[in-house]
Amino acid sequence: MGITYEDFLDLEYDPLDDDLVCEFYIEPADRMDWEAAASRVASESSNGTWAELQVEGSVRDLSATAFSIDEEAGHIEVAYPDALFEPGSMPQVLSCIAGNIMGMKAVDRIRLLDCEWPVTLVESFPGPQYGSAVKSEILDAGDRPATATVPKPKVGLTTDQHATVGYEAWTGGVDLLKDDENLTDQSFNPFEDRLTESLAQRDRAEDETGETKSYLLNVTAPGSEMLERVDMAAEHGCEFVMVDVVTTGWAAVQQVRERCERHGLAIHAHRAMHAAFDRVPDHGVSMRVIAQIARLCGVDHIHTGTAGLGKLENEDTEGINDWLQGECHGLTDVLPVASGGLHPGLLDQLLDELGANIAVQAGGGIHGHPDGTHAGAIAFRHAVDAAAQGHSVEDAATDCPELERALEKWGTE
Ligand code: CAP
Ligand code: MG
C-alpha cells in the first residue's frame, strides 16, 4: 500500500512538543467532505500529492497530520513534524505551510490563521535584537510611545526639502523620521544624499532639543545593493534601517537581519503589500502570522495597524500586538507601530486600545497641520504625552495652541 490522502488525517493525534501546529480556515470545494479537504491540506503542505505513492523507509515521518476539524467555525488544525523544516529558513517554512495549498482546488477558500511555533524551530531563528527596548536603549521615549513621522508627499520632495521636513518634525518633538515605503533611491532624492543631509539635520535637532533623535532610512533594494545600503547607513551613524519586508521577501529580510547584527542596527519593518495576503478575511495569510514571521526573522518594529482608527483596514491590532509582546520561547519582543491616517485627535483612543508600549506614526496628521510640520509635530507629541498619562486630547489642548488647531481641523474621529 502506498501513501494516500487518508494517511494525512488522524483525529486522535496528539501533537508532539516539537511539532509546528497551524490553524487554518477552510471552505471545502463542492463534493469534498471536511475530512477529505483537511487531509489534502496536510498532504500538499508536507510530502503528499494527488497520486498514491509507493515509497519505502522513513519518508512517512515527514508527513503532516490534520488532527482537528471544527466544521461550524470552518477551522482545522494541522501538525507538522520538526524534521520537515530546514532550521532557520523562513522561505522553506512558508513553502510548506503557506505554499501550494493556497491554490488547491480541494478548497474554495483557505486562510492560515495562526501558528504555534515549537521551541526547536524558534531557536533556529535570530529574533529581534532590541524589540521594544529601542524606546530606552536607542531613543528617549521611556514609558510613552515612540513617535515617528513620514514626510508627505510620499515621493517627490527634493533631498533638501525632505531633510528640512525632518528637522522641523524632530524639533517639534518627534523621535523618528521615517522614509516612505516607495522612497528608496530615485533621481529627485538620491539615497546617499538623503542619508547624509537628513543625519546632518538630525544632529542639529539633537543639539537644539537635547533629546535623542533617529532616522528610519529605507534601505529596500534588489540583491546585494540592500546590504550595501545597510553598511552605508551604519557608516554614517544611523541606529535603524527600514525595510519593506513583504515586497522584499523573507530571505532578504533574514540577510538584512544578519548584516544589522554586525552593526548593531535595529530594523523597522514596513508591511506594504501585506493586504494582498490578509485583507480578504476568508483567504490568504493572516496579519497575525505575517507578524509572527517578522518577529522570528528578527525585525524590531512592525506596523500592525491602528485598532480600527485611521484610514486603513485592520485585522485585530490588539491581538497581534499581544502576540508580538508575549512570550515565545525566549524571543525578544517587537515594538508594534500604529500608522495610517492617524492625527492628534485619535491618540487618546488609540492608547486606550493599545497601551503605551508602541510607536505611533503620522504623515498627513503632522504635515497637514494648518500651520505646517513644526506645529503639527508639537501637537502630535503633546497629544501622545498627555494620552500616555491618561488625559484626553481635549484636556491636553487647553495648554497647547498647536493641538487646539489640530483638533479644530480634524476633530477627534
Ligand atoms: C502613513 C503611511 C504608512 C501607512 C502604512 C502612508 O501615512 O506612511 O505607509 O501607515 O500602513 O503612506 O499611508 P499617513 P500600515 O499618516 O499620512 O496615513 O501601517 O497599516 O501598514
Ligand atoms: Mg507610507
Residues forming CATH 3.20.20.110 domain(s) in the chain: 131-410
Out of 150, 278, 334, 410, give the residue to mutate to test ligand 1, the one with the largest number of ligand atoms within 8 Å of its CB. Answer: 150
Q: Please say if 270 is a catalytic residue.
A: yes
For ligand 1, whether the C-beta of 173 sits within 6 Å is no
Closest-lying ligand to the alpha carbon of 304?
A: 1
For ligand 1, whether the C-beta of 154 sits within 6 Å is yes
Closest-lying ligand to the alpha carbon of 273?
A: 1
In this structure, which amino acid lies at residue 25? Y
For ligand 1, whether the C-beta of 150 sits within 6 Å is yes
Q: What's the confidence (pLDDT) of residue 1?
A: 67
Residues forming CATH 3.30.70.150 domain(s) in the chain: 5-123
Q: What is the architecture, at CATH level 2, of domain 5-123?
A: 2-Layer Sandwich (3.30)
Q: What's the confidence (pLDDT) of residue 52?
A: 87
* pLDDT tens readout for residues 96-134: 999 999 999 999 999 999 999 999 999 999 999 999 999
Q: What's the confidence (pLDDT) of residue 412?
A: 96
Q: What's the confidence (pLDDT) of residue 55?
A: 86
Exactly one of 162, 213, 268, 270 is catalytic; which is it? 270
Q: Please say if 409 is a catalytic residue.
A: no
- The pLDDT tens digits along the chain (413 residues) read 678 888 999 999 999 999 999 999 999 999 999 999 999 999 999 999 998 888 888 888 999 999 999 999 999 999 999 999 999 999 999 999 999 999 999 999 999 999 999 999 999 999 999 999 999 999 999 999 999 999 999 999 999 999 999 999 999 999 999 999 999 999 999 999 999 999 999 999 999 999 999 999 999 999 999 999 999 999 999 999 999 999 999 999 999 999 999 999 999 999 999 999 999 999 999 999 999 999 999 999 999 999 999 999 899 999 999 999 999 999 999 999 999 999 999 999 999 999 999 999 999 999 999 999 999 999 999 999 999 999 999 999 999 999 999 999 999 99
Q: What's the confidence (pLDDT) of residue 2?
A: 78
- Indicate the pTM of the whole model: 0.97
* pLDDT tens readout for residues 288-314: 999 999 999 999 999 999 999 999 989
Query: What class, spelled out in words, does domain 131-410 have in CATH?
Result: alpha beta
User: Half-sphere exposure (CA, 13 Å, Cβ side) for 297?
Assistant: 32
